[in-house]
Amino acid sequence: MKVGRSMSTFVRYTTQPAMAVDEWRRHYTQLEVLFVEVEHFEEFMIVIATYVLKNNKAGMVMRVSLGAFLSTSDRATDIFVISNYYKNTELHGQANALLLMVSLSMFGQFCTVFLNYNKKSWCVKLREVLIYLLFLRPAVDAYRVSTNHEDGETLPPLHEMVMNKGCELACESIPGCVLQLYV
């Protein structure tokens, strides 16, 4: 019973069911007999791990909330760094570059809003743009993903969050990190 119940712990700390089953298998060596001798046991356990991962709201809420906190604090540190760069006359070019990266990221996310919410009213589009401008997008995405907010006319919340994160990574986070390492 103890070994079986521990599966959910391994699932909570990974994002892939196969990885969770592999870790569970390595941690409890007595399971090796089942994995070797019982046909399709590993596939069966992966199905169970997938179910647990999908329906484990606490793990999803924790991961998404932590990501939202880090993304929001990233915006605050970007503003802080840009303002400090502008205080030093030698770093005005770097400040402009970092400001351009942040602006490109926001522009890309605005495009995501207009593509995703093209069937919605202008009021809804304006609300979503204001969420971006007030740097609340990570928190709103976290809330929508953790509550499985469904809207038949837009992308699922997880897909929208992945698109936003991809845009942020490509336009701002990675180039900004390289720039700050250079400075």
- The pLDDT tens digits for 10-39 are 887 777 889 989 999 999 989 899 999 999
Per-residue model confidence (pLDDT) at position 116: 86
Mean pLDDT, the chain, as a whole number? Answer: 85
Residue 167, token pair as written in the block: 């845009």
How far apart CA 147 and CA 143 sit, in angstroms, is: 6
Q: How far apart are CA 73 and CA 160, in angstroms?
A: 20
pTM above 0.85, yes or no: no
Q: What is the pLDDT of residues 43-83, one digit of tens each?
A: 999 998 888 877 766 666 677 777 778 877 888 888 899 99
**Is the predicted pLDDT of residue 87 greater than 90, yes or no?**
yes
179 vs 20: CA distance, rounded Å: 37
